[in-house]
Structure 1
Amino acid sequence: MALGFSSAGAVPARPGTEASAPRPLGQLVPVPAEVVPGGSPYAITSTTPIRVADGSGHGSGSGTSSVSSSGSVSDEVRRIGTYLSELLRPATGYALPVTDRPGPGGIRLELGSPDRSLGEEGYRLHSTPAALTITARAPAGLFHGVQTLRQLLPDRVEADSRQEGPWKVAGGTITDAPRYGYRGAMLDVSRHFFPVEAVKRYIDQLALYKVNKLHLHLSDDQGWRIAIDSWPRLATHGGSTEVGGGPGGYYTKEQYREIVRYAASRYLEVVPEIDLPGHTNAALASYAELNCDGVAPPLYTGTTVGFSSLCVSKPVTYDFVDDVLREVAALTPGKYLHIGGDEADATSDEDYVAFMAKAQAVVGKYGKTVMGWHQLTAAEPVKGAVAQYWGYDRTGPAERGQVADAAKNGTGLVLSPADRIYLDMKYTEDTELGLRWAGLVEVRRSYDWDPATYLEGAPQEAVLGIEAPIWTETLTDSTEIEQMAFPRLLGAAEIGWSPAEARDWDTYRLRLAAQGPRLTALGIDFYRSPQVPWS
């Protein structure tokens, strides 16, 4: 079936509504593709089990590889059930045992939906007084359905101590699947370093809003953040500082693997970025032979860009590139390897084209798909490459046209317009943190654009999705990241997930307002935009 949007039930409860009343079925971010409210609510109680099933009762041919041929419940479905139980248990105080025993009632997680329109990430949530059932064709869909269930419960469910019930979910059915397959967020760990636990915290926040890619900006002028065995000083020396001269840091290979594992458990794919050939001062400072003059520059703690470049004419440069990309590719099970390519002002145009051709070949050599900032289109993107557009609304027609032409020739696009969804841009003149080189970006401006029509001349089918980067020149810890990311991150998540016809500012601002207490319960000190009627 084709998914269609129904706005029924998609408005927030009015102020003063009884606390025991369930949240309206469509009061979600991202807004679902289809909402059909109706019937009495489902209530989670002290006797509620979480039943996990392989969906064999739905017939064969689902294509779900995680279900064994013996018909037993897959490890993935059980893991999602355990995740849900652990999520709900502290606030409800209920045991919520996970079982594969058949029986009436409970919260039911079922793989094997025959509905092909759900794809790999879609789900159906059906709530009746007898049971609450989430069905999907693949585990990622079940996980996204669990996030929807989470949002339908009272905000206090996010608490880590027992809260008063009731725990009701409005009756009806949600049928939902994403608009775009690439729904990303980027975290810059180079300008300031963020430890593993901070990255995990951000991953959990992204998962709640169905983001499925975490782009890690692992190298820049100010710091190198990933251990490379063949070039150890990259991390030990190049990672020893950050903007402002702090201690910096880097991820060991095991720490990076832990981030990748944790992201995968939340159905996020990690996209690692090694920025080349510019933004490389940390590498140049670590190894003199990477410099054309053989002299290592000092470590850098400022914020000016465009001054550094690998030495394109030296053979050792390509030994370096091969070693680094090989080791990063081996650590990363995901599809993409991002090689930057932006702001290479210290590299001549001729050298840039030559370098990017060789770097792209290395990415392919190690079985990954090339991803780069949109300046990659000034070279010749290889077949299947993805360009990440970070220009502005006001970017000139020549540059935009170059990207659109590449898209017409088969280059995929991920859209990250800086004056729309760069989460480090100041909201207003009075915003203490962040920068403003791309302009001031209030919540409505961040939300009010459409990826399908944003880049004139680019075929709609070339747009793989969107990504909301957050650069950290002025951000030093999770609290500061959250002040800038929230609530704009929620808008980016909706742009990536929800059907275009389901989105409009007037209803979004009300649904966003209803998210305020949940963000507060999660300990997120978000920006309370005056454009939103916060609860």
Structure 2
Amino acid sequence: MTSSESTQVRRGAKRRTVALVAAIVAIALATGFLIVRSLRDDSAPASVAHTLLPAPQTAELTGERLPAGASQVGALADALRSWAPNAARLADELAATLPDGPASTAAAATQDATGPEDYTLTVGTDGLTLAAGGPAGAYWAVTALAQMIDPAGTVAAGRVVDSPRYRVRSVMIDVARHFHGPEQLRDLVDLATELRFNELHLHLTDDQGWRLEIPDRPRLAEVASRNDVSGGEGGYLTLAEYEDLQDYAAARHMTVVPEIDLPGHTNALLVAYPEASPDGLPREHYRGIDVGFSSVDLTSEASWDLVTDIVETVAEHTRGDRIHLGGDEAHTLSREEYATYVTRLGALAASTGKALTMWQDAYVADLPAGSRLQFWTHDGSTSAIGERVEELDLEVVASPARKAYLDMKHDDRQVLGLRWAGTIDLRTAYDWSPEKELEGIDPARIVGVETCLFTETLPTWGDVTYQLLPRLAAEASVAWGSPRDLDAFLAAADVARDRWEARGYVVHREGDVRGR
């Protein structure tokens, strides 16, 4: 990690959020120009969709710019405080970046009967009006407002009406292959919630490393965590750090979902507790990137007691209602062995009171009703998955690797990243449909979209953000269900690149090659 990257990730939570809002406002002068230009060009629609990410469902502007000083946005914060405190905090931070201009202090914020994440934002000569179906919708409205204000304290007049297509909009980061700690993960929360993602999936365990404290099984932290793909020292989250991260995310309307990958991808676990392996023999730390070679013992009492301790501890310390228990690439097991074990895992998850998510491989098991399958590969039959989804009353999240795995290279010139699922440029990340990718599965069962970042080739935080940005915005557009307009999206992505770079993030631009 370079010194500038290290400085970036050490920022405190309050400083980081204020800087986020300030950077949005600082770049908005260019954004405002784009708004006005589109409105004054008779051949262009009156829309600011190309300046907001993800693009809203409807944006109708008058072309006028009105004063929006600190007092007016502060008044909006006051109107939000009683029913949307997180949105009020964000509005306070936005107000702190604005001048005390002659703006009217008229502002109103009301909760209406729409969906919990829906919002309407109206800017006129009579002030700011925000209506939302719940606190989350109000928070997203304030993020939109921040993008519409320029450094002089003027805001584009008009009306934005918005709502998400999917209720699950998730980002996954693998901290097992290379460990990225609490500060980096808070940075990711900031980046993702700016784009209205509402779930953070933490891939906490794999063959290379174990990344969460389990007090009753201390060797997981003491031994299993001390490795990564690069031969580094690894690391782990204490339970206190894990809980603090969840609180930080919740204040931004994001839920954290932890993943403990079972029964495969378990070499690191077996380094610490070899008695849970099929042969009981010692294991060595693994620094490669092959998959499918490890598994816990499926039937021994020692193995099941270990798994039970882990799952119960993770469930106890997870604020949200869902845990992820992996289930992918258990290549050493027969279909019958795998299905029997994963059915047992599902019952264990249910006994903790948590809902269950597993990778799509688990469709062969008898999972509890309401469990969620995460679709990731087109190997096999989507129709067979669809039949089991109906039979067992399951949900599905779309994460097709060829569209949504951002550890894939941007293009063939790149050093960072993998390409087993192909390359994913910005257009590929933007231009896909969950329903089309998951043909054979009832669209009504598809509850969301998750973009994934595995970190085999990404030891530094700059490497991570290089892979994420700007493609994360493309995936957000799919997850939010933004109107499809590639040219408008690419223009907005150019604005966003400047914003992210102003905040110190390493961003991919066409023609860049990092690491060569």
> Normalised by the shorter chain, which TM-score bucket?
0.7 to 0.9
Distance 1:53 1:14, change over 3 A: closer
2:152 to 166, 188, 191: 166
Contact (CA 8 Å) 1:41, 1:127: kept in 2 or not? no
1:517 to 490, 498, 506: 498
Q: Following the alignment from structure 1 to structure 2, what is the Cα–Cα distance between the partners of residues 341 and 122?
A: 34
1:82 and 2:89 matched? yes
Aligned to 1:7: none
Distance 1:484 1:404, change over 3 A: same
1:390 to 376, 400, 415: 376
Distance 1:193 1:109, change over 3 A: farther
- Letter in structure 2 aligned against 1:128: G
Deviates more, 1:165-174 or 1:208-217: 165-174
Q: Following the alignment from structure 2 to structure 1, what is the Cα–Cα distance between the partners of residues 492 and 112?
A: 29
Distance 1:28 1:250, change over 3 A: same
Q: Which runs of 5+ in 2 are unaligned?
A: 1-29, 41-45
Aligned to 2:475: 492
Q: Following the alignment from structure 1 to structure 2, what is the Cα–Cα distance between the partners of residues 218 and 516?
A: 29
- Letter in structure 2 aligned against 1:280: T
Contact (CA 8 Å) 1:278, 1:347: kept in 2 or not? no
Aligned to 1:135: 131
Contact (CA 8 Å) 2:178, 2:456: kept in 1 or not? yes
1:262 to 220, 238, 248: 248
- TM-score computed with the length of structure 1 as normaliser: 0.83
- TM-score computed with the length of structure 2 as normaliser: 0.86
2:98 to 89, 92, 97: 92
Q: Following the alignment from structure 1 to structure 2, what is the Cα–Cα distance between the partners of residues 328 and 244?
A: 27
Distance 1:510 1:141, change over 3 A: same
1:273 and 2:259 matched? yes
CA distances 1:262-287 after superposition (whole Å, capped 9, x unpaired):
01011100010000000001110101
In the TM superposition, residue 109 of structure 1 has moved relative to its aligned partner by: 5.9
1:32 and 2:56 matched? yes
Q: Following the alignment from structure 2 to structure 1, what is the Cα–Cα distance between the partners of residues 31 and 438?
A: 33
1:405 and 2:387 matched? yes
Distance 1:82 1:346, change over 3 A: same
1:300 and 2:286 matched? yes
SS in 2 for 1:342: coil
Q: How do 1:67-216 residues align onto structure 2 when only pairs under 5 Å count? A: 73-74=81-82, 77-89=84-96, 91-92=97-98, 105-106=104-105, 108=107, 110-114=109-113, 116=114, 119-154=115-150, 165-216=151-202
Q: Following the alignment from structure 1 to structure 2, what is the Cα–Cα distance between the partners of residues 403 and 347?
A: 19
In the TM superposition, residue 110 of structure 1 has moved relative to its aligned partner by: 2.0
Distance 1:283 1:428, change over 3 A: same
In the TM superposition, residue 510 of structure 1 has moved relative to its aligned partner by: 2.3
More helix by share: 2
1:504 to 468, 473, 485: 485
- Letter in structure 2 aligned against 1:153: I
Identity of matched residues, % = 33
- Letter in structure 1 aligned against 2:139: F
1:429 to 412, 436, 449: 412
Q: How many residues matched?
A: 474
2:332 to 330, 339, 346: 346
Q: Following the alignment from structure 1 to structure 2, what is the Cα–Cα distance between the partners of residues 15 and 349?
A: 56
In the TM superposition, residue 95 of structure 1 has moved relative to its aligned partner by: 11
In the TM superposition, residue 49 of structure 1 has moved relative to its aligned partner by: 4.9
Distance 1:287 1:109, change over 3 A: farther
Contact (CA 8 Å) 2:101, 2:153: kept in 1 or not? no
Q: Following the alignment from structure 1 to structure 2, what is the Cα–Cα distance between the partners of residues 346 and 426?
A: 29
Distance 1:52 1:128, change over 3 A: closer
Contact (CA 8 Å) 2:356, 2:372: kept in 1 or not? yes
Contact (CA 8 Å) 2:35, 2:63: kept in 1 or not? no
In the TM superposition, residue 187 of structure 1 has moved relative to its aligned partner by: 0.8
Q: Following the alignment from structure 2 to structure 1, what is the Cα–Cα distance between the partners of residues 226 and 128?
A: 51
Q: Following the alignment from structure 1 to structure 2, what is the Cα–Cα distance between the partners of residues 491 and 428?
A: 16
In the TM superposition, residue 494 of structure 1 has moved relative to its aligned partner by: 0.8
In the TM superposition, residue 243 of structure 1 has moved relative to its aligned partner by: 0.9
Aligned to 1:364: 350
Distance 1:46 1:292, change over 3 A: closer
In the TM superposition, residue 93 of structure 1 has moved relative to its aligned partner by: 5.6
In the TM superposition, residue 50 of structure 1 has moved relative to its aligned partner by: 1.6
Contact (CA 8 Å) 1:337, 1:368: kept in 2 or not? yes
- Letter in structure 1 aligned against 2:74: I
RMSD of equivalent CA atoms = 2.6
Q: Following the alignment from structure 2 to structure 1, what is the Cα–Cα distance between the partners of residues 31 and 186?
A: 30
Q: Following the alignment from structure 1 to structure 2, what is the Cα–Cα distance between the partners of residues 426 and 196?
A: 26
SS in 1 for 2:348: helix
CA distances 1:18-55 after superposition (whole Å, capped 9, x unpaired):
9xx9x963321111112222263332225435225898
In the TM superposition, residue 467 of structure 1 has moved relative to its aligned partner by: 0.4
Q: Which runs of 5+ in 1 are unaligned?
A: 1-10, 56-66, 68-72, 97-103, 155-164
Contact (CA 8 Å) 1:120, 1:140: kept in 2 or not? yes
1:44 to 49, 53, 68: 68
Contact (CA 8 Å) 1:189, 1:225: kept in 2 or not? yes
Aligned to 2:295: 309
In the TM superposition, residue 16 of structure 1 has moved relative to its aligned partner by: 12
SS in 1 for 2:459: coil
In the TM superposition, residue 137 of structure 1 has moved relative to its aligned partner by: 2.2
Contact (CA 8 Å) 2:179, 2:234: kept in 1 or not? yes
SS in 1 for 2:500: helix
1:457 to 413, 421, 440: 440
- Letter in structure 1 aligned against 2:505: I
CA distances 1:279-319 after superposition (whole Å, capped 9, x unpaired):
00111010121012222211212211111000002122221
Q: Following the alignment from structure 1 to structure 2, what is the Cα–Cα distance between the partners of residues 520 and 53?
A: 28
Q: Following the alignment from structure 1 to structure 2, what is the Cα–Cα distance between the partners of residues 236 and 137?
A: 46
In the TM superposition, residue 442 of structure 1 has moved relative to its aligned partner by: 0.9
CA distances 1:248-268 after superposition (whole Å, capped 9, x unpaired):
000111000011000101110
SS in 1 for 2:295: coil
SS in 1 for 2:302: helix
CA distances 1:52-94 after superposition (whole Å, capped 9, x unpaired):
5898xxxxxxxxxxx9xxxxx53x63443223222452x4365
In the TM superposition, residue 219 of structure 1 has moved relative to its aligned partner by: 0.6
Q: Following the alignment from structure 2 to structure 1, what is the Cα–Cα distance between the partners of residues 104 and 289?
A: 57
- Letter in structure 2 aligned against 1:85: D
